[in-house]
Amino acid sequence: MKIPLKDILFALFQFLLIIAFAFDFDVLSLIFPEILFWIGLLLFIFGAFITVVAVLHLNIHLSPFPSPLPGAKLIETGIYKLVRHPIYTGLILAFYGYAVITDSGYRLLIATILFVLFYIKSLYEEKRLIEKFPNYTDYKKRSGRFFPGL
């Protein structure tokens, strides 16, 4: 299977943002109230949990590329019944949570860029999924992109 260039670029940019998030350049240090630490911790734990559940549910269909793999099946059960992109949801929550835990404006910025990337990537991914699965349009009506009902 030849991987489209756009798929490679999305995956590469996502990978680079995740690497950038791992480093905290002390250029945008923030001091959040202690209550935000606990909220950030809850977001991080909940996001990590959602990510693990979604990855396990996808199993062999997991790919960093937005185009569906040959032989892929449309998964509409479990967490995917509520949300079409739960891995993105989990990562977004975990990254924002960790940015708050570490009082890092830099990480908040990277998390926001990643959120925008996931939104754009999901638009492209959904076009590809509609091409492969005609019933994807109905699935979109029953589920949220990143959060149930949204």
User: Residue 59 has what pLDDT?
Assistant: 83
In sequence order, what are the beta bridge partners of 29?
Answer: 104
Q: How far is CA 10 from the centre of its chain?
A: 12
User: Residue 61 has what pLDDT?
Assistant: 82
- Encode 78-107: b = buried (16+ Cβ within 10 Å), e = exposed: ebbeebbbbbbbbbbbbbbbbbbbbbbebb
In sequence order, what are the beta bridge partners of 104?
Answer: 29
Domain boundaries, the chain: 34-59+75-145
Architecture of domain 34-59+75-145: Up-down Bundle (1.20)
Which amino acid is residue 133, in one-letter code?
F
pTM of the model: 0.91
Sequential pLDDT tens for the chain (150 residues): 689 999 999 999 999 999 999 987 777 777 778 899 999 999 999 999 999 999 999 888 889 999 998 888 899 999 999 999 999 999 999 999 999 999 899 999 999 999 999 999 999 999 999 999 999 999 999 999 999 987
CA distance 120 to 132: 19
According to DSSP, residue 64 is labeled: S
Task: Mention every residue, 6+ apart, whose C-beta is less than 8 A from residue 26.
Answer: 106
Burial class, 26, CB count within 10 angstroms (exposed 0-12 / middle 13-18 / buried 19+): exposed
